[in-house]
Amino acid sequence: MSEQNVDVVRNGFDAFQRADWEQVVRDMDAEIEVVQPPDFADARTYHGHQGLLEVLRWWPSQWADFNVELTDVIDANDDQVVWLTRQRGRGKGSGVEVVGDVAFVSSFRDGKVIRIEMFQTLREALDTVGVARSDGEGSSPR
């Protein structure tokens, strides 16, 4: 089941890149929760397909020239996948370029994503799922 979960993350990310919102929600539980880190500005938890789509559309709209790439996908266990992104954008108001990594943990039940939690570091995400990793290895994004 875990390889299928890794595929769900990869396919969902690809669908996000194409703005294929129907595909994005296809493998998401109707009651999905998306949890932002408490130290993010205006952090909150989004609920359901509508909440997921809201945050997926809102975040890129905050930036000019926004780009995100999937840099790592880690099969943590049978029901969790850790994934790392590199995000780049230029502030709409300030024009300042920002580059940073954001890590995520997707939790699954019955083949559907029930929770996506965001983290400021890969280490935080790995600690959350109980994976010890010091060598930087993981499955590649493609």
Q: pLDDT for 79-107, tens place per residue?
A: 999 999 999 999 888 999 999 999 999 99
In the structure, what pLDDT confidence band is assigned to residue 66 with cuts at 50, 70 and 90?
A: very high
What is the CB-side half-sphere exposure of residue 64 using CA atoms within 13 A?
8
Pick the CATH number of 2-129 from 3.10.450.50, 3.40.640.10, 3.40.1080.10, 3.30.1860.10: 3.10.450.50
pLDDT for 134? 57
Q: Which of the two residues, 115 and 142, has the higher pLDDT score?
A: 115
Q: pLDDT for 4-45, tens place per residue?
A: 999 999 999 999 999 999 999 999 999 999 999 988 878 899
What residue segments make up the domains of the chain, in order of their start?
A: 2-129
Task: Name the phi and psi angles at 123, rounded to 5.
Answer: -60, -45
Question: CB burial class (10 A; 0-12, 13-18, 19+) of residue 42?
Answer: exposed
Task: Name the phi and psi angles at 2, rounded to 5.
Answer: -65, -35
Maximal C-alpha separation, the chain: 45
Q: Kindly report whether the global pTM for this prediction surpasses the value 0.75.
A: yes
Q: Is the pLDDT of residue 63 over 90?
A: no
In the structure, what pLDDT confidence band is assigned to residue 60 with cuts at 50, 70 and 90?
A: confident
